[in-house]
Amino acid sequence: MIKEYLEVGQIVGTHAIKGEVRINAWCDSPDFLKKFKRLYLDENGNDFVDITSCRVHGNVAIAKIKGIDSINEAITMKNKILFIRRKDASIPKGSYFIAELIDCTVIDAKDETKTYGIISDVSQTGANDVWHIKDNDVEYLIPAIPDVIDEVDVEKGIVRINPLKGIFDDEN
């Protein structure tokens, strides 16, 4: 489902003494955060911070927030979740954010009357993502690989799959 504001990370601590913060990026790479001059502190875009600089340090982003000039001020930002406005992100056509997959209905690519459930979570394993499909109280795990994922339409909230044999109960 398309969302206007998307979670991109969490402030996990401070860096040095001049008010910089460390951000654990919830995106493909902390480099992605370097594109944004404004990050939001809520999912409705009501509260925001302006970023004056951002760089990657290992697996985190180090950001300087306008108006935060000391370690004591930076500490007050710890654990805050950061959001971006989707229209501020330039991503390739046909790409989507993990947050937009959540609650999408999963259907069979060959038989649209067959519904498997909804995407409830995505695990990033390194080799490929694993999608958690919930159907009532049952959870199925499917690999997000080209052989399985046929089409993703986050605007309509639908994902079409070619399930691997044996994943769902009624398959032999």
**pLDDT mean for each 10 residues of the chain (172 residues):** 91 97 92 96 97 97 98 98 94 85 97 96 91 96 96 95 86 44
Domain spans, the chain: 5-87, 100-161
Residue 20 identity: E
Compute, in degrees rounded to 10, the torsion defined by CA atoms 162, 165, 168, 170: 110
Q: What is the pLDDT of residue 160?
A: 98
Q: What is the pLDDT of residue 147?
A: 96
Neighbours of 26 (CB within 10 A): 19
| Residue 123: half-sphere exposure toward Cβ, Cα within 13 Å | 9
Residue 38 identity: R
Q: What is the pLDDT of residue 112?
A: 93
**Is the CATH code 2.60.40.10 the one for domain 5-87?**
no
Sequence-distant (6+) residues with CB within 8 A of 10 are 23, 24, 26, 79, 80, 81, 82
Q: What is the pLDDT of residue 27?
A: 85
Q: With 0-12 CB in 10 A as exposed, 13-18 as middle and 19+ as buried, what is 131?
A: buried
Distance CA 11, CA 8 (A): 10
Q: What is the pLDDT of residue 171?
A: 46
- Global confidence as pTM: 0.80
Q: What is the pLDDT of residue 169?
A: 66
Token digits for 15? Answer: 């860096």
**Is the CATH code 3.40.50.1220 the one for domain 100-161?**
no
Q: What is the pLDDT of residue 172?
A: 42
Q: What are residue 23's DSSP bridge partners?
A: 11, 61
